[in-house]
Amino acid sequence: MAEFSIIAVFFVGLLGGVHCLGMCGSIVGIFTAQVPKDEARWPFHLAYSGGRIASYAAAGALVGAIGQAGLLMRDAVPVQHLLFALSSLMLVALGLYLAGVWGAVRQLEQLGVGLWLRLKPYTSRLLPVNTVPRALGLGALWGWLPCGLVYSVLLTALASGSAAQGALIMLAFGLGTLPNLLAIGLFWESIKGWVQSPRVRLAAGLLVVTLGVYGLYKVAYTFYMYGWTGACHVAA
């Protein structure tokens, strides 16, 4: 199921432009305003996103390792499949959020407030963003900004049951967000009408819901075909 997870979270990142607009649009706008006028903007934006994605991958490795420890129980309960089912349910919730139907995902952002309050003071030390290394460092810090979208995808990394797979899943998600954040930073005036369109939000949300439902189907089919014992064997 790892391949499906990687593809699914990439599309979640890619289709989450509406969320990125609300969550990171102002941040990217402030960041863009600080880039030296005589410098090309795209190296700064690539560095910023590179730092952000590196933080996502680090978080994915951490929760993947935690999931791997949980799989020590797999002889009693198919933990990985249950976690995968949970991550698929979160995809459904994410899709409903992106479509503007249900906003419960935003409540997850409270989980990381404590960590962010500890990291936030360090961001001021990297301002103004007048060099590419500063942009990289600022992106690495902002990668830990409380975000319901990121936290939801971390559940998929947790379900992977591997630090390497968890990092790969979050890397795929981060790469999915890259076009949105670059577009917001470089071409905002040209794309804002399209990103804010209710039809675009609805279409993106429904596609993510479809990915979540398909993931639930895969879990249900595995249990139907193999039962609990077989599911444990497949997970192993």
Per residue in 34-74, pLDDT (tens digit) is 777 777 788 888 999 999 999 999 999 999 998 887 665 55
The mean pLDDT value for 83-88 works out to 82
Q: What confidence score (pLDDT) does residue 235 get?
A: 44
Q: What confidence score (pLDDT) does residue 81 get?
A: 75
Q: What confidence score (pLDDT) does residue 63 get?
A: 93
What tokens does 76 get? 């009693």
DSSP-derived letter for residue 102 is -
- Which of the residue ranges 15-24, 55-64, 141-150 has the most confident prediction, judged by mean pLDDT? 55-64
Q: CB under 8 Å, gap of 24 or more: what pairs does 28-31 form?
A: 28/181, 28/184, 28/185, 29/184, 29/185, 29/188, 31/129, 31/135, 31/138, 31/185
Residue bearing the bigger pLDDT, 152 or 163: 163
- Which of the residue ranges 9-18, 133-142, 183-192 has the most confident prediction, judged by mean pLDDT? 133-142
Number of domains in the chain: 1
pLDDT at 77 exceeding the cut of 60:
no
At residue 76 the predicted structure's pLDDT band, cuts being 50, 70 and 90, is very low
* Rg, the chain, Cα only: 19
> Per residue in 174-221, pLDDT tens?
999 888 778 776 665 565 566 567 787 788 888 888 988 988 888 888
Would you tell me the crossing angle of helices 17-34 and 148-160 to the nearest 10 degrees? 110
Residue bearing the bigger pLDDT, 184 or 115: 115
What tokens does 51 get? 């730092």
The mean pLDDT value for 139-158 works out to 88
Determine what percent of the chain is predicted with pLDDT higher than 70: 78
The mean pLDDT value for 90-97 works out to 84
pLDDT at 20 exceeding the cut of 80:
no
Residue 98 lies in domain: 2-235
The mean pLDDT value for 102-130 works out to 85
Cα-based distances in Å from 2 to 61, 81, 127? 14, 11, 39
Separation of alpha carbons 186 and 194, rounded Å:
15
Q: Count how many Cα atoms sit within 13 Å of the Cα of residue 7 in the half-sphere of its side chain.
A: 10
Q: CB under 8 Å, gap of 24 or more: what pairs does 24-29 form?
A: 24/142, 24/145, 24/181, 24/184, 25/184, 25/188, 27/142, 27/145, 28/181, 28/184, 28/185, 29/184, 29/185, 29/188
Cα-based distances in Å from 34 to 111, 156, 158, 231? 30, 35, 37, 53
Separation of alpha carbons 89 and 18, rounded Å:
20
Residue bearing the bigger pLDDT, 5 or 92: 92
pTM of the complete model: 0.81
Residue bearing the bigger pLDDT, 77 or 170: 170
